[in-house]
Chain A
Amino acid sequence: MSYFSDIIQGTKSLLTGMRITGNYFFKNFLTRKDVITQQYPDNKDTLKMFDRFRGEVTLAHNENNEHRCDACTTCEKTCPNGSLEVIWDKYKDPETGRNKRVLVKHIYHLEMCTMCGLCIEVCPTNALEWGQDFHHASYDRGQLTKVLNKPGSKVVAGLKG
């Protein structure tokens, strides 16, 4: 009789499913070991991303507030989304007497960046680096446009481009 065997088979399969969820329930109820979620804003301080995590593009500064960007604008040209703008100025090198570029503002539009990493790869002086911060949400689009070079920062002396 397939009618009755259907009922028995069906009930059995349902009970198997219930056993699995039930197992998890009681394990979780007693020990909380299986919990897979994190309490996000609470663990903000201890949350550490992996080193390679691509959170944002940053311009590396050393302890003397010096960066390595010589304003060659390669990154600006490489970016597929136009997220980088390098604003530079000319000055005359007193030693050699040649015109040189100096970085004024390295502007980064986070809202347009797709984290493709091309800018970091092409930079001839390895000035750019990945930042691991991902708390980027903001109410104002303007806050997503950042100036990468810190105020008062200078280019590392003797940089060869």
Chain B
Amino acid sequence: MIRLSIFTQIHEWLYSLMPASSAHILELVLIAAAYLGIFAILGLLLVWLERRVAGFFQLRLGPNRVGPIGLFQTIADALKLVSKELTGTVKADHFLYGAAPYFIITTALMAMALIPFSQEIHAFDINIGVFFIASVSSVGVVGIFLAGWASNNKYSLIGGMRTGIQMISYELSIGMVIVTMTTLAGTLQISELIEMQRNGWFIIQGHFPAILAFMIFMIAGTAESNRVPFDLVEAESELGAGFHTEYSGMNFAYFFLAEFVNLFIISSIAVVLFFGGWLAPFGITDGLHIPFIGLFWFGLKVTAIIFIFMWFRWTFPRFRIDQLLTLEWKYLLPINMVNIVVMALMVWLGLIIKF
């Protein structure tokens, strides 16, 4: 799907250098490396953003020492974490203990491949796109679960168990919201989903049920990314650090980065499903040929959604585990079901708004 001229040039240059099969493999490796880079930068940037935003919410200044407005603070922190000793518990299940962080970053990376940064920068556009993201990102829970179990620490274990409960429940809501929106769109492929929103974003096309679906998505998305008010997994005041209590140094950093990348992924899905992906609002930049304009709009929308998540985090208290389940099974699920039916009816009766 890479069509930007610079990418095309690299592509042709590679194929001219070596036989097609090895060029293909090399290209894949290069893309993977690029995504790893994006993963790290995105994670660090989001951590910085979170801390900065938290500062403003809490009447503080936030990081402001390293670099302009503290931009390099997280890089300094990451360097510190790299240089730290990797500690572990003696009685841990060492193989699983070591493997757990990789589960999480691998799944996060896999989901990232599907993210349409812009029309051109989109590594992997399969026909079951949204479905693929949803299923892959739910594998990430295995990593958290393993970390909780293998650490051989009761706090970690409780954290891990809570994740299991939470993810299974809220995965359902995410799935049903996706069903609702694909009822409206009639496709699962991400590029097509976005193209269809040229006649108005889905949140406008689907008006009432879409707005409801968006609200449910925001709640379930917060739970998916383990953030306040659903941060029971690492509930600081209850479990210390939850599932990553026993991790240190880089292993801890993986969890930390993956958490923020997951936040980004969830926000991206929201942008794709409701706010037209990389499309400009009302097509205001359609005629102009500005490079990377899609990336700009996509980034702007994602940042806005992420900001809402952060707003949640710095305002709300935390749920208790049974309340979390009540919210999902007694409130979100029935509403969601009704919502699907309403959406289907609307599509059937042609009550959707199109420009």
User: Touch between A and B in complex, CB under 8 Å?
Assistant: yes
Where the two chains meet, the residues of A that have a C-beta atom closer than 8 Å to any C-beta of B are 7, 14, 17-18, 20-22, 24-25, 28-29, 32, 34-37, 39
In the bound assembly, the distance between CA atoms of A20 and B59 in angstroms comes to: 12
Are A39 and B61 touching (Cβ within 8 A)? yes
Instruction: Give 6 nearest A-B pairs by CB, closest first.
Output: A21-B315, A28-B56, A36-B59, A25-B56, A37-B60, A34-B59
Given contacts A18-B312, A24-B57, A35-B59, 10 further A-B contacts (CB under 8 A): A7-B331, A14-B316, A17-B315, A18-B311, A18-B315, A25-B53, A25-B57, A29-B56, A32-B61, A34-B59
Question: How far is the CB of A31 from the nearest CB of chain B, in Å?
Answer: 11
Residues in B with CB closer than 8 Å to A34 are 59
Report the interface size for chain B: residues with CB under 8 A from the other chain. Answer: 12
Are B311 and A25 touching (Cβ within 8 A)? yes
Residues in B with CB closer than 8 Å to A29 are 56
Q: In this complex, what residue of B is CB-closest to A28?
A: B56
- A–B complex contacts, Cβ < 8 Å, 15 sampled: A7-B331, A14-B315, A17-B315, A18-B315, A20-B315, A21-B315, A24-B56, A24-B57, A25-B53, A25-B57, A25-B311, A28-B59, A32-B61, A35-B60, A39-B61
Residues in B with CB closer than 8 Å to A37 are 59-61
Q: In this complex, what residue of B is CB-closest to A7?
A: B331
In the bound assembly, the distance between CA atoms of A39 and B60 in angstroms comes to: 10
Q: In this complex, what residue of B is CB-closest to A30?
A: B56
Which B313-342 residues have a C-beta within 8 angstroms of A? 314-316, 331
In the bound assembly, the distance between CA atoms of A88 and B315 in angstroms comes to: 62
Where the two chains meet, the residues of B that have a C-beta atom closer than 8 Å to any C-beta of A are 53, 56-57, 59-61, 311-312, 314-316, 331
In the bound assembly, the distance between CA atoms of A48 and B231 in angstroms comes to: 41
Residues in A with CB closer than 8 Å to B315 are 14, 17-18, 20-21
Question: How far is the CB of B215 from the nearest CB of chain A, in Å?
Answer: 9
Residues in A with CB closer than 8 Å to B314 are 21
Residues in A with CB closer than 8 Å to B61 are 32, 35, 37, 39
Question: How far is the CB of A161 from the nearest CB of chain B, in Å?
Answer: 53
In the bound assembly, the distance between CA atoms of A35 and B62 in angstroms comes to: 10
Residues in B with CB closer than 8 Å to A32 are 61
Question: How far is the CB of A106 from the nearest CB of chain B, in Å?
Answer: 41
Are A21 and B60 touching (Cβ within 8 A)? no
Q: In this complex, what residue of B is CB-closest to A19?
A: B315
Question: How far is the CB of B244 from the nearest CB of chain A, in Å?
Answer: 27
Are A17 and B316 touching (Cβ within 8 A)? yes
In the bound assembly, the distance between CA atoms of A109 and B61 in angstroms comes to: 37
Residues in A with CB closer than 8 Å to B331 are 7
In the bound assembly, the distance between CA atoms of A17 and B311 in angstroms comes to: 10
